[in-house]
Chains A and B, each alone.
Chain A
Amino acid sequence: MFSLASIATMSACIFLFGLFFALVQNFQNMIKEAEEAVTMIVYFEKDTPQETMDAVGREIQTRDGVGRVEFVTAEQAWDSFKVGYFEERPELAEGFEDDNPLVDYAHYEIYLDDVSQQDNLVTYIQSLAGVRRVKASKEVADILVGFNSLVGYVAVSIIILLLCVSVFLISNTVTIGIAVRKEEIGIMKLIGATNSFVKAPFVVEGILIGIIGAALPLGLLYYLYNSLTRYVAGEFDVLTGFLAFLPVEEVFEILLPAGLLLGVGIGFFGSFFTIRKHLKV
């Protein structure tokens, strides 16, 4: 009976863990997508030869945190500017025919993998020969880095809290189990049962509680997550642009083994250490 209560509460803990994990994963995915949109632009000194610019491009590509590096020639820069600036009045751009005002604006656009490396990259790139200026938004990077670490801290705190609650529950189950089976344990000890023989049923029970207590909420989460994401994708087209959920398979690729391992781990260690404490065999 008490094992059932333990399974129920363990399920609740792992359900919360799974829910939180799925939220954090989606959140981090959104942050990552935002990070990938953060670009740095590297401008060069006047008359910098193409070879120098190529060398700088190669150097940048090898650095940590750099995802993609794209070279934009002066012509491409001017074309893009024209599209943005003279869209309404293209005839105004014609005045610049054969005369590119952005002739010294060939540059690299750097897309980051890890926005927290931005400061180091700026310092590094500025030290390279031929580089005139590195344009980067410190505020956006700082906000994203701060947000990311905040999510990380909250996730770790909640997971530790859930772990403690679960271990406490298993510990209680085993303590009560020992009290209920005190006579049986006493007889076992007097007959000459080894410590491991006495402990084994409790540890097995703990592990079983862990497995069942993890499998039930994980199954429920799978179903709920899958249904919810499909429902949102189907009913709220508007949201899909900025609220892209990770597919259920991707979330469960980590959540399933992590949840089961967590359940088994809590079950094993919770029962093992409690029985060590209460059974002076």
Chain B
Amino acid sequence: MIVLDNVTKAYAKGTHALNGISLHIDKGEFVFITGSSGSGKSTLIKLLLKELEPTSGSIKVNGINLGRMKNRAIPRYRRMLGVVFQDFRLLKDRNVYDNIAFAQRVIITPTKKIRKNVPAMLSLVGLAEKYKSFPRQLSGGEQQRVALARALVNSPEILLADEPTGNLDPKNSKEIMRLLEIVNERGTTVVVVTHNQEIVDEMKKRVIVLDKGVIVRDERQAGYTYAD
């Protein structure tokens, strides 16, 4: 599903965010990517979103070589992905319903379908009652659930989550992870970038650890640190 072959990303200053990493993530996997700040985790997500181009190496997602992708094909490619960020990135001037419907309108979904899909997503994330609320009226955990509903409403094949629990307390973090697990069980490949040791240890999923742009550990059913 996601294949990185010897990928290097160097920035203008000469710093290497990623240094020749190779990686293979299968369809339906749940993967944690961890590492200290500046280890290259966010760069990896940006490369997968095609926000950045690798300096060398190739990235294939669902058999599509991102390096050969034409600019006009990027929107169609991104519709395969759902994205969740640490800072939620909700539209502050729209209510919960419209924030989620926005993702559907972007891909020109008929209104009739939007009216069916959005409440279904809101039920999944447990916010059916709050569809009229604005982001400022919601807690951090609730805002992240709205962001998750928005990421999932277009039925993506891959969900990329960049520090989804970074701004949440332990209870809400667990709730978000429970939802990600449900999504994964429904067949979506989930890639989560996180610092949250407790969550990683508890979920026992595949863990890829980056350090200074290289993969230093790739272990299945693992914890945040090496199991001795």
Contact = CB atoms under 8 A, between A and B. Distances in A.
A191 B89 contact: no
Contact of B49 (A183, A190, A195): A190
A188 B72 contact: no
A197 B106 contact: yes
B185 to A, nearest CB: 24
Nearest to B91: A184
Contacts of A189: 75, 78
Interface in A191-228: 191-195, 197
A187 B91 contact: yes
B69 interface: no
Interface of A: 183-184, 186-195, 197, 281
Interface string B70-96: 011011111101010000010100000
A188 B76 CA distance: 12
Contacts of A184: 91
Contact of B78 (A183, A191, A195, A197): A191
Nearest to B92: A183
A26 to B, nearest CB: 50
Contact of B154 (A188, A191, A195): A191
B107 A191 contact: yes
A192 B78 contact: yes
B103 A191 contact: yes
Contact of B83 (A183, A190, A281): A190
A186 B75 contact: no
B89 A188 contact: no
Contacts of B83: 190-191
Contacts of A191: 78-79, 83, 102-103, 106-107, 150, 154
Contact of B106 (A183, A186, A188, A281): A188
A187 B75 contact: no
5 contacts: A183-B91, A188-B106, A189-B75, A190-B49, A192-B76
A194 B75 contact: yes
B107 A192 contact: yes
Contact of A195 (B51, B72, B79, B89): B72
A186 to B, nearest CB: 7
A192 B75 CA distance: 4
Contact of A186 (B77, B89, B107, B150): B89
Contacts of B74: 281
Contacts of A195: 72, 75
Contacts of B91: 183-184, 187
Interface string B43-67: 0000001010000000000000000
Nearest to A183: B89
A231 to B, nearest CB: 50
A204 to B, nearest CB: 15
Contacts of B154: 191-192
A188 B89 CA distance: 11
A276 B74 CA distance: 17
A192 B89 contact: no
Contacts of B150: 191
A23 B153 CA distance: 60
Contacts of B107: 191-193
